[in-house]
Amino acid sequence: MIIREVNELPVTDSCDVFVAGGGIAGIAAALAAARQGKKVILAERMYMLGGLATAGLVTIYLPICDGFGRQVSFGLAEELLKLSIKHDHLDKRGYPNWIASDDPAHRTEKDPRYEVDFNPQLFAIDAEQLLLKEGVEILYGTYVSGCTVENEMITHVILECKGGRQAIRVTSCVDASGDLDLGTAAGVPSVTFKQGNLMAAWFYSCDRSGYDLQVVGYCDTPDEEKEKTGKNETAGHKRYLGLENKEITELTVDSHAAVMNTFLKKRAKDDSFVPVTIATIPQLRMTRHIDGEYTLATEEMHTRFEDSIGMVSDWRKRGPVYEVPFRTLYNHAVKNLVTAGRVTSCTEGLWDVLRVIPCCSVTGEAAGVAAALTDDFTALDVSLLQEKLREQGVVIHESEL
């Protein structure tokens, strides 16, 4: 059975740059665009910013260095790292080692990397206050449910929110949804994560020893990487694609059960153990990304790209550095849509790298600046984009380190 709808929607606002999603990539994109003097609207379905980093309790700002003493991610990637620990940080990772000296000679592969643990609630509020200070309009409790496309350009984004279904007239758009929601609605070619996600149920607890993160469940690696090592320790575990409501509900229920089981086991040994915060979004790592004009591959570490928009490192091991081509962030099918975050065009083996916080910051900043410069990313002068990024402290090529 099909119900056919015919709706007349009110156009409630307009903006220069529309950002879908308020995770780390969306935060970076909105900040970058606003700092270029543009009117920015950011739509976020939850009621806090940060996505998996905050609502999802994946509270590790992974390395912005290569593991051998060189910082590789700059600009907003470093600014947001410092914002995440504005009030405090848990000295479990490498930040103190990095601020103690600017001399890379004092940092080797034996030293902690430039990364931090952070408080998710404080980070979310600090990010919100920063966005508001820069003039970004935030729409919480707002889903991107569709768009209108004319002549390969998105003209209006359709939103679902408490006030009802409505539309916003847009000039350029950034899809930082994590699932390519806006791009899919616009008809951009995409790639799904065929392997699926394992269940994860990270939560915070408190007991007599203090406050701590309980890492329950799995953070799996792509099959492409398992084939190289010959190890598959998660074979047979249930997997979730994360693109259909019933399945996501099932994952959420399973994760809640895992939290309860962990609580009961730990309470049996320590009567002071109690959960204090559980994730309010499903902890899905990879679902769907754009099929971009270029697909970055795992083997392309230390490769120079003339259209690079910055660099990222591999959080899983020391050494690899990737320049990220601007072409991985858009597809010519929709000219005024650029992507950011874990929806970057890459092979499955590299997806596990590009999905994390520093990489979301790097691609988010580039997407935001690009969206402020043009409404046709296929015709953008990338040298102008690189110039603007350099003005914000971004280092573009590995040879410039």
What is the residue extent of each domain of the chain?
A: 11-193+287-400, 198-225+235-278
pLDDT tens digits for 276-317? 999 999 999 999 999 999 999 999 999 999 999 999 999 999
pLDDT exceeds cutoff 90 at 381: yes
Percent of residues, the chain, with pLDDT higher than 70: 93
pLDDT band at 352 (very low <50, low <70, confident <90, very high): very high
Choose which CATH entry (3.30.70.260, 3.40.30.10, 3.40.50.20, 3.50.50.60) describes domain 11-193+287-400: 3.50.50.60
Exposure on the CB side of residue 276, measured as CA atoms within 13 A: 13
Bridge partners (DSSP) of residue 144 are: 159
SS3 state at 83: helix
| CA–CA gap between residue 160 and residue 142 (Å, rounded) | 6
Instruction: Quote the pLDDT of residue 232.
Output: 57
Rg (C-alpha) for the chain, rounded Å, is 21
User: Which tokens hold the place of 14?
Assistant: 């307009």
Comparing C-alpha atoms, which of 111, 126, 136 is closest to residue 18? 136
| CA–CA gap between residue 395 and residue 389 (Å, rounded) | 8
User: Which tokens hold the place of 179?
Assistant: 């699932």
pLDDT band at 224 (very low <50, low <70, confident <90, very high): low
Residues near 77 by Cβ (< 8 Å), separated by ≥ 6?
Answer: 28, 64, 310, 358, 361, 362, 365
- Residue-averaged pLDDT of the chain: 93
Give me the sign of the Cα torsion angle 250, 254, 255, 256.
positive
CB 260 within 8 Å of CB 267: no
Answer with the residue of higher pLDDT: 227 or 180. Answer: 180
pLDDT band at 220 (very low <50, low <70, confident <90, very high): low
pLDDT band at 121 (very low <50, low <70, confident <90, very high): very high
Query: Where in 45-152 does DSSP place strands (E)?
Result: 60-61, 116-117, 137-140, 143-150
Report strand pairing: 137-140 vs 11-20: unpaired
pLDDT band at 230 (very low <50, low <70, confident <90, very high): low
pLDDT exceeds cutoff 70 at 400: yes
* CA distances (Å), origin 67, targets 58, 111, 354, 394: 21, 8, 17, 19
Exposed e or buried b per residue across 209-229, where buried means at least 16 C-beta atoms within 10 angstroms of its C-beta: eeeebbebbbebbbebbbeee
The string of DSSP codes covering 341-361 is STTS-B-HHHHHHHTSHHHHH
pLDDT band at 102 (very low <50, low <70, confident <90, very high): low
Instruction: Quote the pLDDT of residue 24.
Output: 98
Answer with the residue of higher pLDDT: 239 or 107. Answer: 239
pLDDT exceeds cutoff 90 at 206: yes
Instruction: Quote the pLDDT of residue 219.
Output: 64
pLDDT band at 226 (very low <50, low <70, confident <90, very high): low
User: Which tokens hold the place of 28?
Assistant: 């970076």
- Look at the chain and count its residues: 401
pLDDT exceeds cutoff 60 at 229: no
Mean pLDDT of all residues in 93-108: 73
- Identify the weakest region by mean pLDDT among 50-64, 92-106, 173-187, 281-295: 92-106
